With several copies, the nearest count.
Chain A
Amino acid sequence: MDTNGVLDLLWILIAGILVFFMQAGFTLVETGFTRGKNAGNIIMKNIMDFCIGSLGFWAIGYTIMYGDTIGSFVGSPSLFFSDSENMHNLFFQTVFAATAATIVSGAIAERTKFTTYLIFSMIMTVFIYPISGHWVWQGEGWLTNLGFIDFAGSTVVHSVGGWASLVAAYLVGPRIGKYTNGKSNAIQGHNLLIGALGVFILWFGWFGFNGGSQLAISGDNANAVAGIIITTNLAAAAAAISAMFVSWGLYKKPDISMTLNGALAGLVAITAGCAAVSPMGAAIIGVLAGALVVFSIEFIDKKLKVDDPVGAVSVHGVCGAFGTLLVGVFAVDGGLFYGGGFHLLGVQATGVIAIGTWAMTTAFVVLFTLKKVIGLRVSKEEEIDGLDIHEHKANVYND
């Protein structure tokens, strides 16, 4: 391989390793934001979705996503990908697929059956995610053909996970005690420090997520990657600050969990446009996403009454969609604010809606079927005692 090829491959591998580490971040955020009696169950779900995703994406998911297109809709599947020239791509795409899958575990935490989750997670990585991914990233998908821009996956990865989360959290129903007499109650996370560490790890990994999505670093790609790192960082920082001030205004005090979610909201929102917007654009996207996520969490919790313990729907679904739309506004090349008119915005909206519909519909069909066949939810007794002791006969915390 020539030097440029090596450089590109090296960068993809490193970025992929960073993205892998995001799994630890998700695990920590999800356990930290929920109760200690279910921590073991969340650990298991997070490890397993990555393991299932790794095997499943290699076994078939990768080619469903990147195989030769069948009608710009789906790739031609082949079993057990083994092209030794493209192992770095398999790796990078595997960790992306696992990210989409793992988002859901947070939204349905503390009440969902373990087996049901395993099955859903597999379908997510080998079917739901790769098909809509094909539309945007394979090169000949129908959304690519329209000119849809989702550089690193605000929509392809995060919104897919987020919208599936919405459907899943809705179908599973709220945790016992979450809503009483139509009022939303707070069910505090058991360890916000662990949650905060999770956010730092996610942020750390996100440099690989967005930077690696350039899929190259040689030649002109180098400055592009550096620019992506900056836009990613600025959006996250701006969003955390913005979420903090909004929460400060609303609740009279700077709220810890909202600030943490704010950082993630900024990261999700910039993911689509990290290569298309200027640093200033990134900062503005961050400010907007940080504010939005606070209101969205309140809305989903109090108005929709969908119980999402970690805010996955708002962070990944809402801010993912929002960030994708904002590309149509802030893209230096073609964005509304840069004189590009409404065309790109329209295309972005088409993609957001199409993929959102896909994710929600398929998630609904799969989960509804699972509900009928094996059930989504643990028994009331198991839920109250905690999933760890019933589903795993173990306690995470001991002397």
Chain B
Amino acid sequence: MKKIEAIIRKSKFDEVKEALHLIEVNFFSYWDVTGVGNEKQGHVYRGVSYSTSDIQRRFLSIVVSDPFLDRTMDVLLKTAYTGVVGDGKIFVSDIEETYRIRTKEKGSDALK
């Protein structure tokens, strides 16, 4: 099992979610984070113009069983893409064990 952590533009979220749905990745959690990176955003506040790299992003945490990894990555890389600086990053790491609380199922069963 792998954990995919994708940090994407908030504006791309609906599209990404839709696309994940189509490949039957219907389980994940997300929340809003502030991202620091290459992209800069212009702000003005009370006469101070500044450019900040602290930009609102959406963080998706998706744990998938190994066979799902590739297609999930494909979908994410494709639908979160705009080509403009700031599209975000995806990190993949290993998950040792997964449990579904309701059924006590373990491993990839818990991910169905």
Contact = CB atoms under 8 A, between A and B. Distances in A.
Contact of B43 (A177, A294, A394): A394
A255 B48 CA distance: 11
A185 B44 contact: no
Contacts of A251: 44, 47, 49
- B41, B48, B49: most-surrounded residue (chain A CB, <10 A): B48
B46 A389 contact: no
Interface in A348-399: 381, 384-385, 389, 392-395
Interface string A245-262: 001001101010110010
Interface in B58-73: none
Nearest to A176: B14
Nearest to A300: B47
Contact of A385 (B11, B42, B44): B11
B45 interface: yes
A257 B42 contact: no
A393 B47 contact: no
B30 to A, nearest CB: 12
A60 B14 CA distance: 47
A186 B11 contact: no
B41 A294 contact: no
Chain B interface size band reads 10 to 19
Interface string A238-275: 00000000010011010101100100000000000000
A139 B47 CA distance: 41
Q: Give the contact-size bracket for chain A.
A: 20 to 34
Contact of A186 (B10, B14, B41, B46): B46
Contacts of A257: 45-46
Given A389-B41, A393-B43, A177 B48 contact: no
Given A185-B50, A186-B50, A177 B14 contact: yes
B48 A381 contact: no
B80 to A, nearest CB: 13
B44 A301 contact: no
A228 B43 CA distance: 38
Contact of A302 (B41, B47, B50): B47
Nearest to A296: B47
A184 interface: yes
A301 B50 contact: no
Given A381-B11, A393-B42, A297 B47 contact: yes
A184 B48 contact: yes
B105 to A, nearest CB: 24
B44 A393 contact: yes
Interface centre among B42, B43, B44 (most CB of A within 10 A): B44
A269 B47 CA distance: 21
A37 B11 CA distance: 11
A56 B95 CA distance: 63
A294 B42 contact: no
A223 interface: no
25 contacts: A184-B48, A185-B48, A185-B50, A186-B43, A186-B45, A186-B46, A186-B50, A247-B44, A251-B47, A251-B49, A253-B44, A255-B44, A255-B45, A257-B45, A258-B47, A301-B46, A301-B47, A301-B48, A302-B48, A381-B11, A384-B11, A385-B10, A394-B44, A394-B45, A395-B43
Given A247-B44, A298-B47, 18 more contacts: A177-B14, A184-B48, A185-B50, A186-B45, A186-B46, A186-B50, A188-B45, A255-B44, A255-B46, A257-B46, A258-B47, A301-B47, A311-B46, A381-B11, A385-B10, A385-B11, A394-B45, A395-B43
Interface of A: 177, 184-186, 188-189, 247, 250-251, 253, 255, 257-258, 261, 294, 297-298, 301-302, 311, 381, 384-385, 389, 392-395
